[in-house]
């Protein structure tokens, strides 16, 4: 209808008061003559007035929004992070601006830089470039980093973080697999992730005399997992258990194995990380480690809220405990 939305000035004029009166009534709770306030509210309704958040931001420096940068929204792990953050954002009254990098971190710095100027704070994946991770601090914007711990790295971050203990996750899973009598474990990694080394490293550490082999895929898709099945089955090395970088890859690989006539878990057992919803619904249901995706998102948002409100940041790192989810895909002993 109105091509030009009503402004504060219009409301003030209509109510016969000054703009500052309207502004105060809208924002602070300072008392006004009931009569004046009523007139103002009436005018607001009549003109269908809405604050212009941009103009407001310019003077207050506040945006009422939080930016969340994820690596790949199609990965249910990140979707769950978004969901967790979104719930808390709603609770605190923030807008959540989700930006998907589509696994391409080469523009991460630019993305963060761009986003930082429109939000009160940022939630970033730990897997971004260091430059991108540090940018908020340089810009003086509150930020929270989320992701997995990384041995020898994220302990003394300059930015608060919510981290899931990655090596513990690997160990939980590794221990479980060893307990089922498997001795020839193939780790299928994701070449572009900084967490690969920790995953397989922790696995090796507790493997003892069991052998840990390694392969990797370079896209995080079920297709990639499926495609690698043949090289494992027909490869030179005998394998009786497979640990995948995440559930997405594991589900693809599981399917690929079944197509090749491999019995899971009898011939080869298989597991992933993340505990995405569908893992419980594939056949056999997939053993995995719950990486607390949703908690990662909600805790990050809460932590950021604190930093924005109370100015009480302190680059503390919260460590979340992974949870082993044993399901059919690793059930039963080998042989």
* Least distance between its own copies and beta carbon 102 (Å): 7
What's the min distance (Å) between Cβ of 151 and its own copies?
A: 30
Give the nearer residue to DNA in terms of CB position, either 24 or 317: 24
Q: In what order do the strands lie in the sheet with 317-320?
A: 95-100, 65-70, 121-125, 143-148, 161-164, 317-320
State the residue for tokens 């941009």. 54
Is residue 118 at the binding interface for DNA, with CB under 7 A as the rule?
no
CA dist 243 and 237 (Å) reads 15
DSSP 317: E
**Could you say which residues in the range 98-157 bind its own copies, by CB under 8 A?**
98-100, 102, 113-115, 117-118, 138-140
Residue 20 as a binder of DNA (CB under 7 A): the answer is yes
- Is 267:216 a contact under the CB 8 Å cutoff? no
Q: Residue 27 interacts with DNA (CB under 7 A)?
A: yes
271, β-bridge pairs? 243, 287
Which of these ranges, 21-29, 150-158, 162-170, 251-259, lies near its own copies under the rule CB under 8 A?
Answer: 251-259
53 binds its own copies (CB under 8 A): yes
The residues, any chain, with a CB within 8 Å of residue 326's CB and separated by 6 or more, are: 176, 287
Least distance in Å: CB of 237 to DNA?
A: 59
Query: Interface with DNA includes 31 (CB under 7 A)?
Result: yes
d(CA 56, CA 235): 63
Q: What is the pairing mode between strands 161-164 and 95-100?
A: unpaired
Say which residue the tokens 């043949």 belong to. 230
Instruction: Identify which range of 25-33, 94-102, 187-195, 227-235 contacts its own copies by CB under 8 A.
Output: 94-102
Q: Does 7 bind DNA (CB under 7 A)?
A: yes
In sequence order, the 6+-apart residues with CB closer than 8 A to the CB of 55 are none
- How many residues in total does the chain contain? 335
**Smallest separation (angstroms) from its own copies to the CB of 256:** 9
Residues in contact with 304: Cβ distance below 8 Å, sequence separation at least 6, in sequence order: 66, 121, 122, 123, 142, 143, 144
What CA–CA distance (Å, rounded) separates 274 from 271?
10
Report how far apart the first and last C-alpha atoms of the chain are (Å, whole number): 74
Q: Which is nearer to its own copies, 94 or 170 (CB)?
A: 94
Contact between 52 and DNA by CB under 7 A: the answer reads yes
In the complex, the residues that contact DNA under the rule CB under 7 A are 4, 7-9, 16-21, 23-24, 26-28, 30-33, 36-37, 49-52, 55-56, 58-60
In the complex, the residues that contact its own copies under the rule CB under 8 A are 1-3, 5, 50, 52-55, 57-58, 63, 65, 73-74, 76, 79-80, 82-83, 86-87, 95-100, 102, 113-115, 117-118, 138-140, 221-222, 226, 251-252, 254-255, 258, 277-278, 280-283, 285
């Amino acid at each position: 209808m109105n091509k030009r939305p009503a402004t504060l000035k219009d409301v003030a004029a209509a109510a016969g008061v000054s703009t500052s009166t309207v502004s105060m009534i809208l924002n602070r709770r300072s008392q006004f003559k009931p009569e004046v306030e009523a007139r103002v509210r009436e005018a607001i309704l009549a003109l269908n007035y809405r604050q212009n958040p941009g103009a407001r931001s310019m003077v207050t420096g506040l945006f009422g929004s939080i930016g969340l940068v994820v690596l790949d929204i199609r990965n249910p792990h990140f979707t769950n992070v978004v969901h967790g953050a979104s719930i808390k954002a709603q609770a605190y009254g923030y807008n959540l601006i989700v930006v998907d990098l589509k696994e391409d971190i080469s523009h991460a710095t630019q993305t963060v830089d761009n986003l930082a100027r429109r939000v009160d704070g940022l939630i970033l994946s730990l897997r971004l470039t260091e430059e991108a991770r540090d940018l908020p601090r340089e810009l003086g914007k509150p930020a929270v980093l989320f992701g997995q711990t990384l041995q020898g790295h994220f302990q003394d971050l300059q930015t608060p973080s919510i981290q899931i203990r990655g090596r513990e996750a690997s160990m939980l899973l590794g221990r479980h697999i060893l307990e089922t009598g498997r001795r020839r474990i193939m780790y299928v990694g994701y070449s572009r992730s900084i967490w690969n080394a920790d995953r397989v490293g922790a696995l090796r550490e507790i493997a003892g005399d069991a052998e840990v082999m390694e392969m990797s895929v370079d896209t995080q898709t079920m297709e990639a997992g499926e495609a690698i099945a043949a090289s494992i089955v027909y490869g030179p090395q005998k394998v009786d258990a497979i640990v995948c970088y995440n559930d997405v890859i594991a589900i693809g690989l599981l399917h690929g194995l079944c197509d090749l006539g491999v019995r899971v878990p009898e011939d080869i057992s298989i597991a992933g990380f993340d505990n995405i919803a569908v893992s419980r619904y594939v056949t056999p249901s997939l053993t995995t480690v719950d990486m607390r995706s949703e908690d990662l998102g909600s805790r990050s948002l809460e932590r950021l809220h604190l930093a924005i409100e109370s100015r009480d940041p302190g680059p503390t790192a919260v460590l979340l405990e992974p949870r082993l989810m044993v399901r059919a895909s690793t059930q039963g002993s080998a042989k």
